[in-house]
Amino acid sequence: MPRLRFPQQPPVRSRRAGVHRPLATGQSLAGATPQEQQSPVWLFDLDNTLHDTSYKIFREINLGMTAAVMETLKLNENDASELRTRYWRRYGATLLGLVQHHNIDPHAFLQRSHAFEVAPLVRAERGLRDKLNRLSGRKILFTNAPLHYARAVLKHLGILRCFDQLWGVEQMQLHGRFRPKPSVTLMRHVLAQEGIHPRRAVLVEDTIENLRSARKAGLRTVHVFHPGTPFGLGKSGRPDFVDLRVNSVGHLLLQKRPLRGA
């Protein structure tokens, strides 16, 4: 298997200084203030969690990914489309299959596949910034999407500064290999890097497999139901690894007792 030629980038701090305290894996959060030990840390997914990808962006990503595969591997549209779907199902991300089997340049691929302007395409619930600010506790963006795209979406929504740290796919590497969500090892790594005890962490996310892994890593979980999420659950039903099921960030705020211990 080829090693990555793409250097891992550190997570991007978007606001406060001094909150990033790496721990060795498995180490407890000794030295944290009582308040830090008590308040939850929210890990937010991006697509179909903080904004509605099915409105217009998913189509652009779809076109961009296919075009990027066509150009990178010199394939026609049908073959490129079939290949990226196959890798996406097998690895959870087209990028992983391309790196593993074709040794492509991940940075160029991420830039090409997400080259569109997001502003006219973003749709999200109203008052999202106020809602996020009302949700007490530190917030971290935790997305399998490339960072330049994630930043553009957050900026357009006016919520970039709601997040202390941004983890995009560029940061999701372990030992020189991409390990995006739903990797349990990655989730433990992120918590250790951020100095967060798993019991304090809550993953807010639309993709069921990512929530299942989060529970294995010891996190609490909020499922944001979105009808456009592939392989999602129906409108009802809550698996035992999901603590809470909501339709929006606003819905999460309305919960009287959102999560045990939160």
How many other C-beta atoms can be found within 10 angstroms of the C-beta atom of residue 90? 12
Q: Which of 197, 189, 52 is nearest to 138 (CA)?
A: 197
CA distance 201 to 191: 8
- In this structure, are strands 244-246 and 165-167 parallel, antiparallel, or unpaired? unpaired
Stretch that binds Mg ion, among 13-21, 94-102, 202-210, 217-225 (CB under 5 A): 202-210
Report the residue number, 80 or 140, with the smaller CB distance to Mg ion.
140
Q: Which of 209, 211, 233 is nearest to 222 (CA)?
A: 211
Contact call for residue 170 and Mg ion (CB under 5 A):
no
Structure-token match 């991420």, residue found: 110
Handedness of CA 66, 67, 70, 71 (dihedral sign): negative
For the CB of residue 168, give the shortest distance to Mg ion in the complex, in Å: 13
Q: Which of 232, 202, 205 is nearest to 218 (CA)?
A: 202
Stretch that binds Mg ion, among 76-84, 178-186, 201-209, 240-248 (CB under 5 A): 201-209
For the CB of residue 178, give the shortest distance to Mg ion in the complex, in Å: 17
Report the residue number, 49 or 66, with the smaller CB distance to Mg ion.
49
Contact call for residue 52 and Mg ion (CB under 5 A):
no
Report the residue number, 61 or 160, with the smaller CB distance to Mg ion.
61
Report the residue number, 151 or 197, with the smaller CB distance to Mg ion.
151
For the CB of residue 52, give the shortest distance to Mg ion in the complex, in Å: 11
Report the residue number, 10 or 228, with the smaller CB distance to Mg ion.
228
Contact call for residue 213 and Mg ion (CB under 5 A):
no
Report the residue number, 47 or 52, with the smaller CB distance to Mg ion.
47
For the CB of residue 45, give the shortest distance to Mg ion in the complex, in Å: 4
The residues in 29-48 that bind Mg ion, with binding defined as CB under 5 A, are 45, 47-48
Rg, the chain, Cα only: 18
For the CB of residue 132, give the shortest distance to Mg ion in the complex, in Å: 16
Q: Considering CB under 5 A, how many residues would be counted as binding Mg ion? A: 4
Alpha carbon separation from 106 to 69, 78, 100, 202, 261 (Å, rounded): 11, 22, 11, 29, 40
For the CB of residue 246, give the shortest distance to Mg ion in the complex, in Å: 14
Identify the helix (H) or strand (E) that includes residue 235.
Answer: none
Out of 52, 60, 206, 243, the residue judged to bind Mg ion by CB under 5 A: 206
CA distance 255 to 246: 9
Contact call for residue 194 and Mg ion (CB under 5 A):
no
Report the residue number, 60 or 206, with the smaller CB distance to Mg ion.
206
Query: How deeply is 98 buried, as exposed, middle or buried, from its count of CB atoms within 10 A (0-12, 13-18, 19+)?
Result: buried
Q: Which residues bind Mg ion (CB under 5 A)?
A: 45, 47-48, 206
